[in-house]
């Protein structure tokens, strides 16, 4: 009996230590802070917040294939493509962002879902992740070799920082805290400002919007938070902040950014309400049969772009992190094939390459040179 009591005591002690260690680990600043107080009261009045969490639009709750957790884990750890990550360094073309002329209307892609736009004299930064991992711990979800060509020092002062949602591959603690002195305004979804304030951002610089709410900024500049079909969360409590897409309206351009989203009727609704668009920056990658409601296949990306009534497509959400099990370059290969089938013009620049937003197409398949 004494031996059993000793074993149980040891097991109980180990459990207590694990709980204490886990709690201590979760107190690190990179996990952010969920909304509370006045911010939470505003959230609770949102029609998109029910039962203690934000909800997708009703049609997002479509049935999915029943797959066991053991099967999912087995695929993720043992059945990844052998080309899930590139084995050689990605090519790039580093643009001096600080020397772009005021009259230039250009886009620079940093890889994954990070973009720099210089449009009608304003500098716009979208979901910047300039660190080497998409995770609260540095050794997990490491970025590809050659994909980190920019640092915060390379970034000029930013008029508008857009954050689509609070997942680690879109809201990076190291990047946004270092960028803080350079940011004039942040536009994001409801609740995300809680993380930013916790990290030292002045609340007066943060604009949080619900779906289909517009931030009227400088003359001719408006940014509207529009629906997406996704989820959020940086800790064990999910969907406490809102995930959004963005309609970016400037005096001479109209650009759509999808954030992360599964395919749905919301794209045609956005096209009808806010389109047509000169350019659509669309997530295209990290899809899986295991999460069909929160990410799009390349074929769905093309259809969503057509639903939006966009003149051309720029596919992102690939070429920096492997968050699914497909080939690292499968998204771009498949989306080009489908865009040709549907006669949809596309842009697919190298990392860091400056592209005029009026450009109708790019044609260098740079990924073919990567092993």
**What are the structural domain ranges in the chain?**
97-369
Mean predicted confidence (pLDDT) in 274-292? 95
pLDDT beyond 60 at 61: no
Q: How far is CA 22 from the centre of its chain?
A: 27
pLDDT beyond 90 at 138: no
Question: 138 to each of 32, 45, 134, 179, how far by Cα in Å?
Answer: 16, 37, 8, 19
Mean predicted confidence (pLDDT) in 61-80? 62
User: With contact defined as beta carbons under 8 Å apart, do 327 and 263 qualify?
Assistant: no
Q: How far apart are CA 353 and CA 340, in angstroms?
A: 23
Q: How many CB atoms lie within 10 A of CB 327?
A: 18
pLDDT value at position 66?
A: 53
pLDDT beyond 70 at 18: no
319 phi-psi bin (left φ>0, alpha ψ -120 to 50, beta other): left
Mean predicted confidence (pLDDT) in 283-294? 93
User: With contact defined as beta carbons under 8 Å apart, do 85 and 144 qualify?
Assistant: yes
Whether omega for the bond prior to residue 302 falls within 30 degrees of 0, making it cis, is no
Mean predicted confidence (pLDDT) in 180-199? 98
Question: 300 to each of 103, 275, 335, how far by Cα in Å?
Answer: 35, 18, 9
Q: How far apart are CA 105 and CA 77, in angstroms?
A: 43
Q: How far apart are CA 369 and CA 371, in angstroms?
A: 7
Structure tokens given for 356:
């005029």
Q: Are strands 206-209 and 183-189 parallel, antiparallel or unpaired?
A: parallel
Q: Which residue has the higher pLDDT, 66 or 167?
A: 167
pLDDT beyond 80 at 349: yes
* Residue 46 CB-density burial (10 A; 0-12 exposed, 13-18 middle, 19+ buried): middle
Q: Is the dihedral of CA 237, 190, 317, 350 positive or negative?
A: negative
351 pairs with which residues across the strands? 92
Q: How far apart are CA 293 and CA 278, in angstroms?
A: 27
DSSP-assigned letters across all residues of 145-186: TT-----GGG---EEEEEE---STTTS-HHHHHHHGGGEEEE
Q: How many CB atoms lie within 10 A of CB 166?
A: 24
- Quickly tell me which residue has 């990567």 as its tokens: 370
277 pairs with which residues across the strands? 310
Q: Which CATH number fits domain 97-369: 3.30.565.10, 3.40.50.1970, 3.40.190.80, 3.60.15.10?
A: 3.60.15.10
User: With contact defined as beta carbons under 8 Å apart, do 168 and 141 qualify?
Assistant: yes
Sheet containing strand 354-356, strands side by side: 206-209, 183-189, 158-163, 122-126, 114-119, 106-111, 354-356
pLDDT value at position 7?
A: 65
User: With contact defined as beta carbons under 8 Å apart, do 107 and 357 qualify?
Assistant: yes
∠ Cα 243 244 246 (to 5°): 160
Q: How far apart are CA 4 and CA 8, in angstroms?
A: 6
Mean predicted confidence (pLDDT) in 117-139? 93
Confidence of residue 69 (pLDDT cuts 50, 70, 90): low
What proportion of the chain, given as a percentage, has pLDDT over 70?
88
Q: How far apart are CA 205 and CA 82, in angstroms?
A: 45
pTM greater than 0.85: yes
pLDDT value at position 63?
A: 46
pLDDT value at position 10?
A: 65
């Amino acid at each position: 009996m004494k031996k059993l009591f000793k074993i149980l005591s040891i097991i109980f002690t180990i459990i207590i230590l694990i709980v204490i260690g886990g709690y201590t680990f979760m107190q690190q600043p990179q996990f952010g802070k969920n909304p509370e107080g006045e911010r939470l009261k505003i959230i609770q009045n949102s029609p998109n917040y029910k039962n203690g969490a934000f909800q997708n639009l009703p049609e997002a709750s479509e049935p999915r294939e029943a797959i066991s957790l053991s099967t999912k884990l087995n695929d993720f750890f043992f059945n990844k493509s052998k080309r899930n990550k590139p084995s050689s360094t990605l090519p790039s073309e580093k643009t001096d962002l600080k020397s772009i002329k005021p009259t230039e209307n250009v886009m620079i892609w940093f890889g994954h879902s990070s973009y720099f736009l210089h449009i009608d004299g304003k500098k716009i930064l979208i979901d910047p992740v300039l660190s080497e991992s998409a995770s609260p711990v540095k050794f997990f979800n490491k970025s590809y070799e050659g994909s980190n060509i920019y640092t915060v020092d390379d970034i000029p002062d930013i008029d508008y920082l857009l954050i689509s949602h609070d997942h680690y591959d879109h809201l990076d603690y190291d990047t946004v805290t270092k960028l803080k002195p350079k940011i004039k305004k942040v536009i994001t979804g409801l609740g995300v400002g809680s993380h930013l304030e916790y990290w030292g951002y002045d609340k007066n610089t943060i604009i949080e919007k619900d779906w289909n709410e517009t931030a009227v900024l400088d003359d001719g500049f408006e940014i509207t938070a529009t629906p997406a079909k996704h989820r959020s969360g940086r800790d064990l409590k999910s969907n406490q902040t809102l995930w959004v897409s963005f309609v970016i309206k400037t005096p001479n351009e109209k650009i759509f950014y999808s954030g992360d989203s599964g395919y749905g009727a919301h794209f045609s609704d956005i096209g009808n309400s806010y389109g047509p668009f000169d350019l659509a920056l669309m997530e295209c990658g990290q899809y899986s049969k295991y999460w069909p409601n929160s990410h799009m296949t390349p074929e769905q990306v093309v259809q969503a772009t057509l639903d939006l009534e966009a003149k051309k497509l720029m596919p992102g959400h690939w070429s920096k992190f492997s968050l699914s099990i497909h080939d690292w370059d499968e998204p771009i290969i498949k989306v080009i094939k489908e865009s040709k089938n549907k006669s949809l013009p596309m842009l697919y620049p190298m990392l860091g390459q400056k592209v005029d937003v009026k450009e109708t197409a790019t044609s260098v398949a740079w990924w073919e040179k990567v092993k």
